[in-house]
Amino acid sequence: PDAPKGICGADADTIVARNFLRAVASGSGCYIHVVENTALNLKNTALERREIKGLNALDRLCTIFGITETDAYKKAVLVADAVLADLYKPDYEKMTLVEKMAYPPRYKKWQELGILPGGAKSEAVRGVVKCSTNLNSDPVDMLLDCLRLGISTGIYGLTLTNLLNDVLLGEPEIRFAPVGLRVINPDYINIMITGHQHSLFVDLQERLVSPEAIAAAKLVGAAGFKLVGCTCVGQDLQLRGSHYTEVFDGHAGNNYTSEAILATGAIDAVVSEFNCTLPGIEAVCDELQIKQICIDSVAKKSNAEMKPFVFSEREQLSRDIIDEVIESYKTRRGKVPLNLLPEHGNDNTLTGVSEISLKKFLGGSWQPLVDLIASGQIKGIVGVVGCSSLVAGGHDVLTVELTKKLIEKDILVLTAGCSSGGIENCGLMTPEAADLAGPSLRAVCKQLG
């Protein structure tokens, strides 16, 4: 900069910390929104005594939370309420589940540093307030807020969202799954889903494979309905795909791949509920006459029809969506050219890896993995996770090339989010990828099959 300080007197450290806190508070607000909706959906499902697929996952959470109730539905309500109660606390009241969820030495350190978070929603609001015009100018104070928000977002927005999804939607099971544009079957009415809130799709998933819906699809010449996975919600469906084999075609791709998925011409509607529903798909949808429906206003697209998800009205919402999508199929199919890419992706991506399923795969103990690391056969584990980006050479280039380099050096890679969408489409999650690994890691992979 030309001047050492801004016109208000803020220096570069203040300006950078303020912008960083603004981004962190906004991101925290996003994933706290997701866990809030997930907890509400679990609670409402339990109150209506509807299906809860992950009873073992529920028991594990009850043990962590100290819930001793025996009825599954009451347990689910208590679990959801415990999460919600923490989210809604004021910022001056610490959340109680942090200590139960966190690794104890780390919790102790957070306590020493004074960064244990208060109510997660209030913390996000405080972060937004601090970084507004001429408020906080202490970079260290703002960065400590970022750490506090990181704790609440990590434990609630990420970990607990996943664990609550395990309860409601079923636990991941390790299996092979098809990925990439090849999963799109043009014989079906195809709905691409984008977002992060899998629990909003429970009713729609069931209704799409009901005899009535299939009969309606057949009346217009389609074989039925399929959900085509895109972005994180597709990744979550893939993870739990063993419970949804009929309705889910597979995960076609990540954030920026959404444009290519639509360009196949075989998608009849997009149903979105969160990020990353790219504004860039709006023009593609207009051009290819693809219906856009949004079920959570936080991710409203300019040309999408807003049909808000309300739990008590979800059955009507699903019926409305099905009617709209059938209309879209009737209007566009036969007129819009198909540009399928059946060679894209692969049929044998390893998926369904969770802490529980992986430990089970290892024979019920982490010891085999620990031994491999201790002996140096595997040099370590690196997480390549989160959003894929366009930096460093183009979409997915950095994450895919980094993963190749790491496995070449006998380092195991764990991946999630859109990073894994690119990594899996490029074949790095297939058994054949072992050939790209260094000699020790390759031998371990071959031994495991």
Q: Which residues bind ligand SF4 (CB under 6 A)?
A: 231-232, 254-255, 275-276, 386-387, 417-418
Looking at beta carbons only, is 199 or 328 nearer to ligand SF4? 199
Looking at beta carbons only, is 276 or 433 nearer to ligand SF4? 276
Task: Please give the Cα distance from 119 to 95 (Å, whole number).
Answer: 6
**In Å, how far are 167, 231, 283, 290 from 287, measured between CA atoms?**
40, 21, 6, 8
Looking at beta carbons only, is 139 or 417 nearer to ligand SF4? 417
Neighbours of 414 (CB within 10 A): 12
Pairing of strands 380-385, 411-416: parallel
Task: Please give the Cα distance from 6 to 8 (Å, whole number).
Answer: 5
Looking at beta carbons only, is 45 or 258 nearer to ligand SF4? 258
Looking at beta carbons only, is 251 or 307 nearer to ligand SF4? 251
Looking at beta carbons only, is 178 or 386 nearer to ligand SF4? 386
What residues are paired with 194 via a beta bridge? 272
Looking at beta carbons only, is 197 or 231 nearer to ligand SF4? 231
Least separation in angstroms between CB 382 and ligand SF4: 17
Looking at beta carbons only, is 39 or 232 nearer to ligand SF4? 232
Q: Contact, 437 vs 379, CB < 8 A?
A: no
**In Å, how far are 42, 127, 198, 246, 261 from 222, measured between CA atoms?**
33, 50, 25, 15, 19
Pairing of strands 291-294, 248-253: unpaired
Least separation in angstroms between CB 58 and ligand SF4: 26
Least separation in angstroms between CB 267 and ligand SF4: 17
Least separation in angstroms between CB 36 and ligand SF4: 17
Residue holding tokens 């430990």? 359
Looking at beta carbons only, is 27 or 241 nearer to ligand SF4? 27
Length of the chain, in residues: 449
Least separation in angstroms between CB 86 and ligand SF4: 23
Least separation in angstroms between CB 421 and ligand SF4: 7
Least separation in angstroms between CB 392 and ligand SF4: 16
Residue 125 parent element (H or E): helix 120-130
What's 376's DSSP letter?
T
Task: Please give the Cα distance from 163 to 63 (Å, whole number).
Answer: 13
Task: Please give the Cα distance from 72 to 279 (Å, whole number).
Answer: 41
Least separation in angstroms between CB 388 and ligand SF4: 6
Least separation in angstroms between CB 385 and ligand SF4: 8
Q: Chain centroid to CA 388: how far?
A: 13
Task: Please give the Cα distance from 162 to 63 (Å, whole number).
Answer: 17
Beta strand ranges found along 105-179 (DSSP E): 175-179
Residue holding tokens 């997660």? 120
**Gyration radius of the chain's alpha carbons:** 23
